[in-house]
Structure 1
């Protein structure tokens, strides 16, 4: 299956303050999203997930690398970018912050149509989008304001605002993080039904591996600006190879054994350590397992290659690679 969206060698840097080194928020990423596929991009806060997602949407131009959409290079300016944003839509995590409190639901959903000069029946398009998002009958919501809706209803309005343009790709940044547990399942089920009914592709940005398990076909685990493990959701979440992925999974309620407590905070992206970028916090290196496997020196000094963007199982870890060879 061909990739709908493909990033190659993507890098996004931000200048440092007062002569400080530049921050490498995204530091070499290859990532493919196939048609009709849901990919979960997971990792701690500050690992670069949101910056990567915004760059894929054309909101943050990359410092280097390239994004292809439907085989064509993404242009970060002019009419081409506007046309792309009709085909790829962003769904933010906080529906209260995404919706203008002075706009009715109808105006919120119709905004995209007006920006892109839609010439069809606006009322019908808005009604269809609200209906697809699970707000039925849609006419009942036209004149309501965001404060009159529940959190789940507001998130459905945000999703309807994306659907109204008939996109091919949705990038959902923590789509259920601000919702009650009782509502999260409904929104996840909605995203799955949209994929089944409309053939939508989706990149779901999340720190929640449980969410990834419930919705994704494939998982990409990100740490300090780079993807460190990727594969199908079953491969990665039932048999994690990278110590960072193992640590993230260990804190889930159903995980066996004791949670892995990582020491310290993720390093500053302006001062990325040599060798494996996770080595300063790695429980495998700290426990002596990497030393026994004969790779401790590599962990500290040898830089790992960028993982390819395809769907095959991959891990950027000297210790995991040594286990496979052994």
Structure 2
């Protein structure tokens, strides 16, 4: 694996990405697609971080790499300060400590397995030597399915969407992980149930000290659940920081556009032109410049950064710390203040 320049990982970091790059082969001889193109990201103990962006921005590839499902082309993943090893035994031990919660509980659960079997599966894979029934009951109870024994012999089709998602969460909790990666955890649920699942994740953080990376396209969800937010576009994090700082005073034009479509947004929605560029042909300069409303309006020209937006790349943002943004125009705004 390619070596990377050392990047500081804070002492409180539980899971961290340092200089992470993930590529996939191009079609018919095309250049490799750079799904993750230089990312630093830290998740602290007991912290919830929201990874936000449009479909195709690389957030799922980043999450899969943090889970050890994809080996990076460059950079490294560390857990508890130790680099992640990709041997089968090491990965099995790692995945007991870091669990995945998928967005579609119907697709995550085997329709032929009872709730008990679904939750106990992880225990059996990892050779759990304790009281299986008690562990399954406790996990279901923590996930809000009480009394747990009432759900043991039920099948997924007998449950509501919210209950199925709680079963998926229980299946992750039964192994007593330190961190969960939740990929769009409420996207498939009715609005009335979403708040309950988000409240459950917050309660698990408070009661168990559980950390979480929540992957979502919804900045409103990030506002309701996250301590920090990382906004991703075309393989890179373009804005990051405490959720209050980023979402109340967004500095990157892309973050502003994402926020503008929320129902509670004060101004008119920003309609971005076109689609995100092909990750095998990332443009020069700021990778957002072809769709940037600030550049299109002439404001970047007035500020004197238009040429830099089109030609000058931006540095990788730090994985933790105060709010940071990768934007020539935002940097010029600060200097001119």
State the TM-score, normalizing by the size of structure 1: 0.99
Once residues 151 and 185 of structure 2 are traced to their aligned partners in structure 1, the CA distance between those partners, rounded to angstroms, is 21
TM-superposition CA deviations, 1:265-312 (whole Å, max 9, x none): 000000000000000000000000000000000000000000010131
- Segments of 4+ moved more than 2 angstroms: none
- Counterpart residue number, 1:96: 106
The one of 277, 286, 304 aligned to 2:314: 304
Per the alignment, residue 85 of structure 1 pairs with 95
2:203 alignment partner, one of 193, 200, 203: 193
Aligned to 1:289: 299
User: 1:132-143 residue pairs with structure 2 within 5 A?
Assistant: 132-143=142-153
1:145 paired residue number = 155
**How far apart, CA to CA, are the structure 2 residues paired with 1:311 and 1:177?**
29
Alignment of 1:145-294 (within 5 A): 145-294=155-304
What secondary structure does 2:300 align onto? helix
CA distance in 2, matches of 1:71, 1:281: 38
Whole-angstrom CA distance in 1 between matches of 2:307 and 2:54: 26
Partner residue of 2:116 out of 64, 85, 106: 106
| SS state at 2:318 partner | coil
2-side partners of 1:98 and 1:61: how far apart? 23
Displacement after TM superposition at 1:257 (Å): 1.2
In the alignment, what sits opposite 2:72?
A: 62
SS at match of 1:179: coil
Separation (CA, whole Å) in 2 of partners of 1:55 and 1:92: 15
Instruction: Work out the CA distance in 2 between the residues paired with 1:257 and 1:125.
Output: 50
Looking at structure 1, the residues matched to 218 and 321 of structure 2 have their Cα atoms a distance apart, in angstroms, of 21
| 1:73 to 2:83 alignment | yes
Partner deviation per Cα, 1:95-126 (whole Å, 9 max, x = no partner) = 00000000000000000000000000000000
8 Å CA contact 1:218–1:311 kept in 2: the answer is: no
Correspondence for 1:7: 17
Query: Tell me, which stretches of 5 or more residues in structure 2 are unaligned?
Result: 1-10
What secondary structure is seen at the aligned counterpart in 2 of 1:102? coil
Q: Which residue of 1 aligns with 2:138?
A: 128
C-alpha displacement of 1:31: 0.1
TM-score (norm 2): 0.96
- In structure 1, C-alpha distance between the alignment counterparts of 2:168 and 2:69, rounded to whole Å: 18
- Provide structure 1 residue ranges, at least 5 long, that are not aligned to the other structure: none
Q: Using the alignment, how far apart are the partners of 1:275 and 1:118 within structure 2?
A: 52
> How many Å separate the matches in 1 of 2:168 and 2:87?
25
How far apart are residue 71 of structure 1 and its match? 0.8
Deviation at 1:75, TM superposition (A): 1.1
2:44 corresponds to which of 23, 29, 34: 34
Q: Tell me, what secondary structure is at the counterpart of 1:202?
A: strand
SS at the partner of 1:41? strand
Helix, strand or coil for the counterpart of 1:311? coil
Deviations along 1:173-207, one digit per CA (max 9) or x if unpaired, are: 00000000000000000000000000000000000
Deviations, residues 17-71 of structure 1 (Å, cap 9, x unaligned) = 1101100000000000000000000000000010100100001111110001001
2:3 match: none
Distance 1:268 1:75 in 2: 31
CA deviations on 1:132-159 (whole Å, 9 max, x unpaired) are 0000000000000000000000000000
Contact 1:88–1:169 (Cα < 8 Å) also in 2 = yes
